[in-house]
Amino acid sequence: MGLPLTSMRKCKSHIPDLRVQISEALRLGRVTKALDLYERIEKQKPDEPRWSHRKGDLLHRMGRDTEAASAYQRAAELYAARGFSARAAATARLMMRMKPSQTA
């Protein structure tokens, strides 16, 4: 019949915990830790574009533009799939700045 209510609450509450951990890692300048946490949250919410987008922002700040472009591309595709075409286009422009040879 599905997960018991307590198990469902644990699953839902885990994302806010990761968001708090990401904020704390960024505040402390622990960007590698923050990147690991973004990857974890991205796996838990694979259809949510904002995590790929934020991961791309962090990778760009780290100087890892090729990886940032890939994260932005994933975010743009997810935004488009959800019907957020303006957000998808803006994110694609970010990707294009990282890898001008890519097509949006």
pLDDT exceeds cutoff 70 at 101: no
Please report which confidence band the pLDDT of residue 8 belongs to, taking 50, 70 and 90 as the band edges. Answer: very low
Examine residue 53 and state whether it is found in any structural domain, yes or no.
yes
Number of domains the chain contains? 1
Q: Which domain holds residue 13?
A: 5-98
Examine residue 16 and state whether it is found in any structural domain, yes or no.
yes
Residues 78, 80: Cα–Cα separation, whole Å:
5
Examine residue 91 and state whether it is found in any structural domain, yes or no.
yes
Residue 45 is classified by DSSP as: S
Examine residue 103 and state whether it is found in any structural domain, yes or no.
no
CATH number of the domain to which 74 belongs? 1.25.40.10
Examine residue 104 and state whether it is found in any structural domain, yes or no.
no
pTM score, whole prediction: 0.78
Contact by Cβ (8 Å): 74, 46: no
Please report which confidence band the pLDDT of residue 102 belongs to, taking 50, 70 and 90 as the band edges. Answer: low
